[in-house]
Chain A
Amino acid sequence: TQLLEQSPQFLSIQEGENLTVYCNSSSVFSSLQWYRQEPGEGPVLLVTVVTGGEVKKLKRLTFQFGDARKDSSLHITAAQPGDTGLYLCAALSNFGNEKLTFGTGTRLTIIP
């Protein structure tokens, strides 16, 4: 079973600060996704990255897939209280018979 480790596990910062969340594994993935989950709701897909080294931007969020397709990062610029939530990376591990495996999660709190 491929394990996706996220760090940090918890992060609490002031509004306006920048932050980076990491997702690491020893396995190679065909693609990697980031989700945000709010209390009482299911995860919502934010982005999918496919190519090694790929960078995608979603407003103040920047996602990067590692060159070797084993890791990813999520950078948030000028964090806002609305960014608060549980951030999950998830990867498709088999080239063909996909099974979405989730990371250990980062619980982010933005303090106004």
Chain B
Amino acid sequence: DTAVSQTPKYLVTQMGNDKSIKCEQNLGHDTMYWYKQDSKKFLKIMFSYNNKELIINETVPNRFSPKSPDKAHLNLHINSLELGDSAVYFCASSQDIWRDPTDRVVGYTFGSGTRLTVV
């Protein structure tokens, strides 16, 4: 069973189109994210949702709109696609792990990515 699954795996589309990427996690995690990995493999956070509520929005163009219908799903809709949107988009989820009352770590699980190519 895939813990964090995203679809599609590959997406090729023309400039100006609107597209969506879907993400689902079956880990019971409260927090979900979208990350973008550029051609130099640098991973940058785009959005974070905690229990369906947006908590991080990292100066992403408003052509990108995340939607979380429930805490197991976080979809990403992109309007008016541009050449510069070409990248690999990763969905992730996380849960706090308390090793003791003062020692909290956050475990992240990533999906396998969606390679978006805008032509």
Contacts and interface: CB of A to CB of B under 8 A. Distances in A.
Interface of A: 31, 33, 37, 40-45, 48, 50, 86, 88, 90, 92, 97-102, 104-105, 107
Interface string B22-55: 0000000000010100001111110010000001
Q: Is the interface of A mostly helix, strand, loop or mixed?
A: strand
A32 B21 CA distance: 29
6 contacts: A33-B108, A98-B106, A100-B94, A100-B108, A102-B44, A105-B40
A50 B106 contact: no
B104 to A, nearest CB: 8
A31 B112 contact: no
B79 interface: no
B66 interface: no
Given A48-B105, A50-B105, A92-B106, A41 B43 contact: no
Contact of B42 (A45, A50, A104, A107): A104
Given A40-B112, A42-B110, A42-B111, A99 B48 contact: yes
Contacts of B7: none
A90 to B, nearest CB: 8
A82 to B, nearest CB: 19
Given A99-B48, A99-B56, A45 B107 contact: yes
